[in-house]
Amino acid sequence: DAGVTQSPTHLIKTRGQQVTLRCSPISGHKSVSWYQQVLGQGPQFIFQYYEKEERGRGNFPDRFSARQFPNYSSELNVNALLLGDSALYLCASSLSEYGELFFGEGSRLTVL
Amino acid sequence: AQSVTQLDSHVSVSEGTPVLLRCNYSSSYSPSLFWYVQHPNKGLQLLLKYTSAATLVKGINGFEAEFKKSETSFHLTKPSAHMSDAAEYFCVVTYTGGFKTIFGAGTRLFVKA
**Do residues B106 and B9 lie in contact, with contact meaning Cβ atoms separated by under 8 Å?**
yes
Average pLDDT over residues A83-109: 92
Partner A contacted by B2 (CB < 8 A) = no
For residue B98, name the pLDDT band (cuts at 50, 70, 90).
Answer: low
Percent of chain B with pLDDT over 70: 91
- What pLDDT does B95 receive? 76
The Cα of B3 is separated from the nearest Cα of chain A by a number of Å equal to 12
Q: What are the φ and ψ backbone dihedral angles of B50, each rounded to 5 degrees?
A: -115, 125
Nearest to B61 by CA among B43, B73, B45, B41: B45
The Cα of A43 is separated from the nearest Cα of chain B by a number of Å equal to 6
- What pLDDT does A71 receive? 94
- What pLDDT does A40 receive? 83
Contacts of B36 in chain A (CB under 8 A): 101, 103
Nearest to A98 among B90, B96, B103 (CB): B96
Whether B13 has a pLDDT exceeding 60, the answer reads: yes
Least confident range from A70-74, B18-22, B91-95: namely B91-95
**Is B34–A105 a contact, with Cβ atoms under 8 angstroms apart?**
no
> Taking chain B, what is the end-to-end CA distance rounded to the nearest angstrom?
41
- What pLDDT does B43 receive? 83
Nearest to A42 among B45, B100, B104 (CB): B104
Mean pLDDT across chain B: 90
**Do residues A89 and A8 lie in contact, with contact meaning Cβ atoms separated by under 8 Å?**
no
What does the alpha-carbon distance between residue B8 and residue B77 come to, in Å, rounded to a whole number? Answer: 14
Nearest to B99 among A56, A101, A104 (CB): A56
More confident residue, A89 or B102: A89
A:B CB pairs within 8 Å: 55
Type and span of the H or E element at B13: strand B10-14
Q: For B46-80, how does the pLDDT look when each residue is reduced to its tens digit (9 = 90+)?
A: 999 987 777 899 999 999 999 998 899 999 999 99
Q: For A14-53, how does the pLDDT look when each residue is reduced to its tens digit (9 = 90+)?
A: 999 999 999 999 999 999 999 999 988 899 999 999 999 9
- What pLDDT does A96 receive? 82
For residue B99, name the pLDDT band (cuts at 50, 70, 90).
Answer: low
Partner A contacted by B30 (CB < 8 A) = no
CA-derived radius of gyration, chain A: 13
**Is A42–B46 a contact, with Cβ atoms under 8 angstroms apart?**
no
Average pLDDT over residues B85-99: 84
Q: Cα angle at B70 between B66 and B73, to 5 degrees?
A: 40
Average pLDDT over residues A9-18: 97
Q: For A43-89, how does the pLDDT look when each residue is reduced to its tens digit (9 = 90+)?
A: 999 999 999 999 888 899 999 999 999 999 999 999 999 999 999 99
**Interface-testing mutation among A48, A57, A98, with chain B (most B C-beta atoms within 10 A):** A98
Give the SS3 label for residue B94: strand
What does the alpha-carbon distance between residue B1 and residue B113 come to, in Å, rounded to a whole number? Answer: 41
